Amino acid sequence: MRIAMLGAGAWGTALSIAFADRHAVSLWSREADVAVDLRETRENRRFFPGYRLPESVRIETVFAAALTDVDLVIVATPMAGLRPSVENLVAAGCRAPILWVCKGFEAGSGKLAHQVVADIVPAGQIYGALSGPSFAEEVAAGHPTAVSLAASDGAFARRVARELHGGNLRIYANDDLVGVEVGGAVKNVLAIATGVCDGLGLGLNTRAALITRGLAEIARLGVALGGQRETFMGLAGMGDLILTCTGDLSRNRRVGLGLAQDKALAQILDELGHVAEGVFTARETVRLAERLGIEMPISQAVAAMLDDGLSARDAVARLMARDPREELE
């Protein structure tokens, strides 16, 4: 299969490495200096140092050239880059199926990725999400990884999951695009909360409770949006949540660790040096939950820390002061 990878950040580079042994991959970079470095050294020293890109991966800076005769486009940008990337695809006349690896709600509109894409592409063009418990560094290193592929067309999802599946990357088809996207979006918010918990030294009991109750929040929102409850017990739900809340490579967890140290958000993000999607997703999650009448107290506490200056300790006190309720309500 001929794949155009749009975005030479961590994920674009990692997936290019993972797919290069079985597919023809062209990696498009918006930054000319990154492209030059990739061509000369086969290493993305600016965004993803330490991993060698196979010689078979073609590096492109001309958008149209990356799309020549492709069978599949994978958008590997942050959520903010999804809309302009797809708009450019449509303007270039590309009608190949589109997958994306970003996770979140669009800032301002509160839309999930598939809703953003559906706004832009012609009727009938196939699109979907690749999501699950995966750090780019471990995918590039060849560590065994399993993710979900959900799409607007179930037959396409099953076929492409089989074609992309291989080596140490296992890909499972899923017919619940909404559930897969909600799981991938909101887990980043819960990872910030878990980072706060760990940063305050509240212990493993607290972490386990936070992750479990966080999963309940994700499922409540996801079902209200049309997702299937079973999805949240799978790779794109529980799997991604556990990884992002406990893994040291999690950017969102590191945001929470910084908040626990009373650092300003601007300082945390500057030190991080990469996008932490949970920062933008938290406020959109809360707005959406309020509009739907969904209880999401942990997400609300995270949004209050990020946007309203609520201290980490006060956020914990607020959560612990909530009235008791039935667990499975």
Residues annotated as catalytic (active site), given as ranges = 187
Spatial contact of 5 and 74, defined as CB atoms under 8 Å apart:
yes
Domain boundaries, the chain: 2-175, 185-320
pLDDT tens digit sequence for 129-153: 999 999 999 999 999 999 999 999 9
Q: What is the pLDDT of residue 325?
A: 81
The answer, yes or no, to whether residue 275 has pLDDT greater than 90, is no
Confidence band, pLDDT 50/70/90 cuts, at residue 324: confident
The answer, yes or no, to whether residue 42 has pLDDT greater than 70, is yes
Long-range Cβ contacts of 136-140 (<8 Å, 24+ apart): 136/10, 136/11, 136/13, 136/14, 136/48, 137/10, 137/14, 137/51, 137/249, 138/249, 139/14, 139/15, 139/17, 139/18, 139/169, 140/13, 140/14, 140/17, 140/18, 140/48, 140/51
Confidence band, pLDDT 50/70/90 cuts, at residue 274: confident
On the 0-12 / 13-18 / 19+ scale of CB atoms within 10 A, 154 is: middle
Mean predicted lDDT score pLDDT of the chain: 96
Q: Which fold has domain 185-320?
A: N-(1-d-carboxylethyl)-l-norvaline Dehydrogenase; domain 2 (1.10.1040)
Percentage of the chain beyond pLDDT 70 is 100
Q: What is the pLDDT of residue 259?
A: 97
Q: What is the pTM of this model?
A: 0.95
Distance CA 175, CA 114 (A): 13
CATH superfamily name and code, 2-175: NAD(P)-binding Rossmann-like Domain (3.40.50.720)
Q: What is the pLDDT of residue 329?
A: 66
Q: Answer with the residue of higher pLDDT: 149 or 275.
A: 149
On the 0-12 / 13-18 / 19+ scale of CB atoms within 10 A, 90 is: middle
> How many other C-beta atoms can be found within 10 angstroms of the C-beta atom of residue 176?
23
> How many other C-beta atoms can be found within 10 angstroms of the C-beta atom of residue 157?
25
Pair of tokens at residue 290:
């309020």
Confidence band, pLDDT 50/70/90 cuts, at residue 323: confident
Identical fold between 2-175 and 185-320: no
Closest CA to 48 of 56, 58, 38, 40: 38
pLDDT tens digit sequence for 200-233: 999 999 999 999 999 999 999 999 999 999 999 9
> How many other C-beta atoms can be found within 10 angstroms of the C-beta atom of residue 308?
7
